[in-house]
């Protein structure tokens, strides 16, 4: 008699994660409770009870000061908010796949869509999902969905967003999708069946088609375990669901030539071992290499991995928070988000694709539950240390991201290695704000590496200094009078502005900043401004450059001459009153005179009788003295239509 053990039998990732979280809390000495059974397996629940972990059914049973673990099935939003409102310490062990469904239905309803859940309305997972929206619809099978769609009762015009219980079958899901598509063309369908569940079901079908008898190991209260038994029953007549080795019925496999064994996602490894102890005397297991006893196959499949060991696996699934890896063992391998990369902005999908073969470090191993936490970041860090040491020896430039600020300076992550940058080496002036570099990518040189103390020191200033020096040499080799540069204002003084034009600071005198008279450079530019300047003169020996900012193109007089001519009408602003008339600004930097005789169509005693400073009026340009840059304006010419000269005499 030969037996084939399903590779996917036993704990799935979500269950392993939840069990591990309860173990951690129980081991911390805290008073710990789980809201509902942490998973659907009485052996696990009893084991935790022996460790002092109580199971409660309602939030009201939880005493103040307790740590409450939310089970892998999740809880409705109202329950979570009630717990938070009571100030209890919450450890959320909800399966990440289930959490994703919570977000989908909540966001769908917020967008005005109707959430539809395919699953068992009495299942804790479905109850939790439904609790994240106000008006969910739940259908246990395709017939219920079809009756609602065609019956019309309770239906409205809202577009539908449909999800599935994670332990649902692909056959049911595809059937529901097909039915929905016939009625709703604008529906959203999210296949939220857990991939581990899907693979387990596929393998169960394959085994049950090949074997004369099937043994399903797991708690009868577990939905996915019962579903496995149901699926196997469709392809095999001899199917037995056993809670433990005590329930094995030898009559089931008596006289048969092949037996298949699988286990639900909530079945711990030790239960599978107990089943093996009962069967190992009689059954031999067929493997790819030949025959070996069931115990040997089981031990091989759940072989112990060592912390710090380098292993190779295949990516089987990617979520926004974790990557699942098949290590070819019974361990459910997963890489948490914070163990993916030293780059805090990286997304799992940026690094891997399903099917990729990757190398990782073994982080934390739980042989009892069959899980292993993996780390790609740590493996990358080991390789990065070698590169960091080489960069220090060869004085090459490396890139990193600034992750934190402390009293002494900044900390950067370079290929996953923590690098300290003293404040004096950041390139920020003494007393300046170092936080401006946080989360910025920077280039630096490694100045010290102490592997024993795991200490690395870097300098941004060293790179900036070398780059500035190289830029300065290039500038001095190419500089010439009249050459234009795009620079940055570095500092201001009472007599001008210093501008970095690429490794060298040049000075723009206050008289070269504006065509108008200014008292302070700050009236025109500010530190940090990017401006275009040109070389007026330079002294290579003294390393001094005089720069100009105002250009012929920006000369207000030239602008005026290009835009206006005698006889044009312009809107001007009165800026100064004199006894003989009023000065008016035509454009910034160019004023004209409205002689007292040109202010009105009658004689007036003084300009203030008609005009006031700041007033805008329309005038006619009656004369332009280009040589002396004087302009005569007239309001009277617009009122009477007559022409007058600047002295107020009639032209006739």
Residue 125 annotated among the catalytic residues of the structure = yes
Q: Which of 125, 142, 198, 203 is catalytic?
A: 125
- Is the CB of residue 388 less than 8 Å from the CB of residue 454? no
- Is the CB of residue 276 less than 8 Å from the CB of residue 295? yes
Q: Which of 384, 376, 374 is nearest to 350 (CA)?
A: 376
- Work out the burial of residue 106: count CB atoms within 10 Å of its CB; fewer than 13 is exposed, 13-18 middle, 19 or more buried: middle
Q: How far apart are alpha carbons 228 and 226 in whole angstroms?
A: 5
> What DSSP element (H or E) covers 201?
helix 195-210
For residue 537, what is the DSSP state? E
- Is the CB of residue 113 less than 8 Å from the CB of residue 134? no
* Angular region, 580: left φ>0, alpha ψ -120 to 50, beta rest: alpha
Apex 236 CA angle, 235 and 239, nearest 5: 130
Q: How far apart are alpha carbons 274 and 70 in whole angstroms?
A: 29
Apex 363 CA angle, 361 and 368, nearest 5: 125
Residues 6 or more apart whose CB falls under 8 angstroms from that of 173 comprise: 118, 164, 191, 193
Residues 6 or more apart whose CB falls under 8 angstroms from that of 407 comprise: none
Q: How many residues does the chain have?
A: 652
Burial 594-612 (b: 16+ CB within 10 A, else e): bbbbbbbeeeeeebeebbe
Residues 6 or more apart whose CB falls under 8 angstroms from that of 8 comprise: 196, 199, 200, 203, 262
- Work out the burial of residue 572: count CB atoms within 10 Å of its CB; fewer than 13 is exposed, 13-18 middle, 19 or more buried: buried
- Is the CB of residue 348 less than 8 Å from the CB of residue 319? yes
- Is the CB of residue 377 less than 8 Å from the CB of residue 383? no
Strand, helix or coil at 449?
strand
DSSP secondary structure letters along 71-132: PTT---HHHHHHHHHTT-EEEE---HHHHHHHHHHHHHHHTT-EEEEES-TTSHHHHHHHTT
Place of tokens 């290929």: 415
Residue 527, number of CB atoms within 10 A of its CB: 12
Active site residues: 125
């Amino acid at each position: 008699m030969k037996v084939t053990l399903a590779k996917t039998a036993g704990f799935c990732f979500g269950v392993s994660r939840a069990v591990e979280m309860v173990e951690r809390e129980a081991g911390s000495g805290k008073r710990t409770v789980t809201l509902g059974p942490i998973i659907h397996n009485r052996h696990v629940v009893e084991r935790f009870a022996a460790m002092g972990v109580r199971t409660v059914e309602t939030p009201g049973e939880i005493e103040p000061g307790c740590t409450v673990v939310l089970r892998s099935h999740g809880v409705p939003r109202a329950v979570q908010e009630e717990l938070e409102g009571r100030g209890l310490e919450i450890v959320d062990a909800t399966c990440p796949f289930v959490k994703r469904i919570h977000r989908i239905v909540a966001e769908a309803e917020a967008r005005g869509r109707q959430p539809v859940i395919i699953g068992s309305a009495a299942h804790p997972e479905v109850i939790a999902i439904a609790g994240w929206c106000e008006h969910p619809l739940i259908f246990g099978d395709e017939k219920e969905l079809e009756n609602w769609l065609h019956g019309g009762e309770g239906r409205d015009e809202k577009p539908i967003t449909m999800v599935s219980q994670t332990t649902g079958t692909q056959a049911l899901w595809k059937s529901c999708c097909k039915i929905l598509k016939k009625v709703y063309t604008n529906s959203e369908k999210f296949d939220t069946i857990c991939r581990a569940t899907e693979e387990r079901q596929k393998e169960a079908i394959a085994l049950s088609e090949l074997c004369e008898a099937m043994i399903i190991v797991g708690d009868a209260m577990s939905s996915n375990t019962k579903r496995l038994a149901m699926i196997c029953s469709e392809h095999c007549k001899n199917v037995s669901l056993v809670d433990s080795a005590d329930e094995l019925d030898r009559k089931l496999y008596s006289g048969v030539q092949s037996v298949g064994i699988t286990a639900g996602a909530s079945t711990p490894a030790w239960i599978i071992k107990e089943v093996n102890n009962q069967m190992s005397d009689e059954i031999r297991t067929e493997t790819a290499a030949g025959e070996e006893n069931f115990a040997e196959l089981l031990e091989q499949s759940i072989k112990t991995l060592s912390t710090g060991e380098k292993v190779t696996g295949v990516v089987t699934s990617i979520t926004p928070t974790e990557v699942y890896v098949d290590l070819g063992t019974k361990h459910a391998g997963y890489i948490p988000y914070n163990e993916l990369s030293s780059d805090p902005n990286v997304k799992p999908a940026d690094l891997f694709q399903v099917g990729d073969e990757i190398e990782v470090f073994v982080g934390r191993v739980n042989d009892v539950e069959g899980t292993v936490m993996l780390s790609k970041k740590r493996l990358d860090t080991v390789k990065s240390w070698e590169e960091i040491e080489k960069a220090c020896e060869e004085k090459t430039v490396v890139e990193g991201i600034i992750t934190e600020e402390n009293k002494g300076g900044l900390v950067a992550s370079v290929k996953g290695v923590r690098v300290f940058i003293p404040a004096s080496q950041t390139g920020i002036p003494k007393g300046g704000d170092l936080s401006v570099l946080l989360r910025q990518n920077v280039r630096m040189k490694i100045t010290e590496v102490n592997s024993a103390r795991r200490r690395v020191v870097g300098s941004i200033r060293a790179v900036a200094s070398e780059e500035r020096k190289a830029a300065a040499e290039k500038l001095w080799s190419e500089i010439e009078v009249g050459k234009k540069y795009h620079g940055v204002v570095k500092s201001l003084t009472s007599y001008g502005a210093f501008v970095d034009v690429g490794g060298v600071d040049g000075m723009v005198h206050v008289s070269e900043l504006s065509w108008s008279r200014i008292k302070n450079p700050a009236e025109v530019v500010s530190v940090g401004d990017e401006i275009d300047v040109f070389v007026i003169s330079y002294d290579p020996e003294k390393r001094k450059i005089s720069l100009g900012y105002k250009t012929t193109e920006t000369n207000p007089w030239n602008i005026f001459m290009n835009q206006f001519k005698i006889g044009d009408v312009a809107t001007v602003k009165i800026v100064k009153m004199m006894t003989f008339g009023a000065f008016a600004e035509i454009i910034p930097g160019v004023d004209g005179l409205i002689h007292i005789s040109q202010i009105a169509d009658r004689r007036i005693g003084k300009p203030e009788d008609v005009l006031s400073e700041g007033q805008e009026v329309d005038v006619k340009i009656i004369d332009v003295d280009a040589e002396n840059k004087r302009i005569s304006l007239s309001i009277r010419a617009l009122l009477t239509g007559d022409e007058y000269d600047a002295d107020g005499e009639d032209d006739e």
